[in-house]
Amino acid sequence: MTTAPSPNGAAPQRQLEAAQQQLLQYARDLNRVFQTEHEKDAALRSTTRQLLSFAQDLNHAFREEQQKARELERAYHDTLQRLLRASHYKDQDTGAHNQRLAHYARTLALFLGWAREEAERLFAATPMHDIGKIGVPDAVLFKPGPLDESEWNLLKRHTTFGASLMAGSTSPLLEMARKIALYHHERWDGSGYPQGLRGEEIPPCAHLVMLADQYDALRSERPYKPGLSHERVREILLEGDGRTLPQHFQSLLLEAFRELQGKFEEIYERFRSPARRAA
């Protein structure tokens, strides 16, 4: 005898089919999400590869520019050395003087916390401080007696003349050398030349060279004066003598000199000119 299907038997079947359809929809949705994320991931990997390639290209270009800059800076340095050799023809003691000043200035800069690179640039630029004197007549430069007013005004022009030789360059070395040439006779109290700058108006590189130059000038024999002992020069710089005064220098710089004055004496003795050493 055949049994009739239950009127409620179709309901579980429909529920099962509905559940299957729902699961299939979930699977399709998950697959779409997966595909989207996969495409995003592929795009991200592609973008990353491109960025890495760009970074490598930029790094290569940067290294090439660095090399060109180093070569250009070496060319500028060579130009400075040739100018210095020209200035040495006027005064055989100039080379030893310039060498000492470079060492004084670098010693001061490092003591005051300058970065090594800047201190080395100062070392290279300092010997250019008096390059403008190649434009001053020998009769004025080596006059054994006091200069008259017109001669003094002519001598003071060596600052602007020297700076003009190095003007207009993008080289950090030449720009530092220009500032030193122009401003190394400016004084902290505003009594220097050529512009009468005062205090922090004076570029630090020029002010360091100013103190170094003052020390070496007092130590060195000139046609118009004898050289002084280290002890006497130290006393003049720190206490003054009526002509050179402590207010001509930044107090911080004078304190640095007080700490380093022994090294200044060592540098002077190590790089004395051959003629002075033989005497």
Q: Which residues are catalytically annotated?
A: 133
Residue entry with tokens 């800059």 = 69
Of 191, 190, 122, 185, nearest in space to 157 by CA: 185
- Residue 60: in which H helix or E strand, if any? helix 10-88
Instruction: Kindly report the number of other CB atoms within 10 A of residue 226's CB atom.
Output: 7
**Residues 181 and 132 sit within 8 Å (Cβ to Cβ):** yes
Q: Which SS3 state, helix, strand or coil, does residue 122 take?
A: helix
Q: Which SS3 state, helix, strand or coil, does residue 148 take?
A: coil
**Residues 216 and 209 sit within 8 Å (Cβ to Cβ):** no
**Residues 163 and 133 sit within 8 Å (Cβ to Cβ):** no
CA distances from 238 to 101, 220, 265 (A): 19, 18, 15
Instruction: Kindly report the number of other CB atoms within 10 A of residue 103's CB atom.
Output: 20
Distance CA 126, CA 99 (A): 9
**Residues 250 and 258 sit within 8 Å (Cβ to Cβ):** no
